[in-house]
Amino acid sequence: MKRAFFALLAALFLPACLAHAQGKTDIYILGKDKGSVSSMQAGGVTLVDVRATAKKLGGSVELYAAAKQIKVAFPGMYAILSAPLREVIINAQTVSLPAEVVATGSKIYAPVQFFMLPQVQKALDRQISFEKGALVVEKNFTLAFVDKEQQKSYDRLRLFQKGNLSFTSEQKNKHTVEANFPGAVLKRNVSLRLKDDFVRSFSLTQRGKDVLLKVILGKNAKNWRLTQEKGELVFVAGSALPAPVSAVEEAPAEELDLDMSPSVFAEEDDTPVMRPAPQPVLKSGAPVIVEKRKIRIVIDPGHGGKDPGATRRGSSQEKTLNLTVSKHLYNYLKKQGFDVKLTRDNDTFVTLAGRSKMANEYKADLFVSVHTNAAKRAAANGFEVYFRSDKATDKEAAEVAAFENEALQYEEAHYSFVDMLLESMAKNEFMNESSKLAGHIRNYVYKEPGIGIAVRQNNAIRQANFYVLRGVKAPAVLVEMGYISSAKDRARLNNKAAQKRMGDGIGKGIVSYLKAEGKIK
């Protein structure tokens, strides 16, 4: 863990710009040339000046040059990009880019793919693609002409469709076929004369909220059809039609060749700049294969080794109480058939970051950190479960977090901005899950007989910014079993039967949560 961390630090201070060739990337918005932004190539990836590009796209930008970070905001979304990482935070979630963000001087460059992320396209309600070295922003169309193919016995027209558009088609008279696409957005009107004996001409026109396809058939067009094939719409007319391409033999996405010759558009298009159609960016998701494996739970006995945690004369130290109860919890969950891992099973020091890293490497489905509380106020007592949030529920919760985070002082690692960033990637997506988990644990510790520590229904669940919970890619909670500073709690915390009950209570809460969420039967 440390080595990787220092590698990151080293990378941070290296001049990152040396290996990159400087260049320019043109930007086209709705067919208009909007000038260029500076760009560079790195390992086959084009990186563009984030600030300049975002501004051209109408975004707002906050640049923190010293921190090598930039925040980009578009309507309804924000993104934080940081050199030298490929992970971008978008609306509190992490998204990986194909290459690292690079900082040079006062500029921050990101792979051009950042601007093509579905989140950005959705925020701008535009289709954004990178075509022939230019960033192309277009109307969020759902239908576009792709190309025509004139064969011996038929003519074929290919149309791009986003999703499966519905349509109706009919033969209006001997020579005219019309199809209507309700709700479709046409990339641009097209009118083409083929002047052969199968298709004389055809047009695609946006009419309000519908798109109309009109085909004038030639004298040898005995038959025609309009069908969805290989994810495209295909119109064929001729003397002998080819067999439709079955959807089962669907071609891989890269074979959906949307490259078209600009001359195809020339007839009815007066915009000076011709650009090829973008790739269909919103592809249907690949089937999700659910891996059948046991639920993995990581139990984290707080503190350890040189870090004793909360102490009180004449009592066990926090690190020892945490380990004892964690082992009871471990045994309980093992008996239930789960895969369980302890972040430490003896009196050793483990860094806070190392604990969450361990959980992620183990691919934990759930993380529970076990602690014992302490307060200056002797009357403070009771059991509490915390989940992580940037905002503490109250001043006391913040103080508990501050105390537990003190373990940082024992760590030699120097916490720089890179580390801060890794923390800020904390998965807020798990906040909701974590709060539910906290609820189940609270209820079952409350129900478990023989513990003898107060579980208050109104404030036993609290949120605060615990370092150890940050960055865990799973629902994660921190349990404070009781107050070592309270004579009453302290007696129970040191009681062997109560310790086992505490482990069982937490374990039952975990099982109840997993059942309630449908993760186990």
Interacting residues toward Zn ion by CB under 5 A: 302, 309, 371, 404
**CB of 69 or CB of 317, closer to Zn ion:** 317
Question: Least separation, in Å, of the C-beta of 309 and Zn ion?
Answer: 4
**CB of 204 or CB of 374, closer to Zn ion:** 374
How far is CA 499 from each of CA 48, 452, 519, rounded to the nearest angstrom? 58, 10, 28
Rg of the chain, C-alpha, whole Å: 31
**How do strand 134-139 and strand 126-131 relate by DSSP bridges?**
antiparallel
Question: Least separation, in Å, of the C-beta of 321 and Zn ion?
Answer: 10
**CB of 158 or CB of 328, closer to Zn ion:** 328
**How do strand 296-301 and strand 366-373 relate by DSSP bridges?**
parallel
Question: Least separation, in Å, of the C-beta of 291 and Zn ion?
Answer: 34
Question: Least separation, in Å, of the C-beta of 479 and Zn ion?
Answer: 10
Question: Least separation, in Å, of the C-beta of 404 and Zn ion?
Answer: 5
**How do strand 102-104 and strand 107-111 relate by DSSP bridges?**
antiparallel
**CB of 100 or CB of 307, closer to Zn ion:** 307
Question: Least separation, in Å, of the C-beta of 463 and Zn ion?
Answer: 16
CB atoms inside a 10 Å sphere around CB 176? 12
**CB of 187 or CB of 371, closer to Zn ion:** 371
80-116 residues labelled b (16+ CB within 10 A) or e (exposed):
bbbbbbbbbbbeeebbebebbbbbbeebbbbbbbbbb
Residues 6+ apart with CB under 8 A from 288: none
SS3 sequence of 62-126: EEECCCCEEEEEECCEEEEEECCCCEEEECCEEEECCCCCEEECCEEEEEHHHHHCHHHHHHHCE
**CB of 215 or CB of 350, closer to Zn ion:** 350
**CB of 302 or CB of 507, closer to Zn ion:** 302
**CB of 71 or CB of 371, closer to Zn ion:** 371
SS3 sequence of 260-304: CCHHHHCCCCCCCCCCCCCCCCCCCCCCCCCCCCCCEEEEEECCE
**CB of 158 or CB of 371, closer to Zn ion:** 371
CA-to-CA distance for 330 and 326, rounded, in angstroms?
6
SS3 sequence of 197-230: CCEEEEEEEEECCEEEEEEEECCCCCEEEEEEEC
Question: Least separation, in Å, of the C-beta of 303 and Zn ion?
Answer: 5
What 3-state DSSP class applies to 12? helix
**CB of 277 or CB of 481, closer to Zn ion:** 481
Question: Least separation, in Å, of the C-beta of 311 and Zn ion?
Answer: 11
**CB of 309 or CB of 482, closer to Zn ion:** 309
CA dihedral 215, 221, 227, 232 (to 10 degrees): -70
Residues 6+ apart with CB under 8 A from 415: 408
Question: Least separation, in Å, of the C-beta of 48 and Zn ion?
Answer: 46
Question: Least separation, in Å, of the C-beta of 403 and Zn ion?
Answer: 7
Question: Least separation, in Å, of the C-beta of 302 and Zn ion?
Answer: 4
How far is CA 197 from each of CA 172, 193, 200, 227, 377, rounded to the nearest angstrom? 18, 11, 7, 21, 94
396, 376 contact by CB (below 8 A):
no
Residue least distant from Zn ion (Cβ): 371
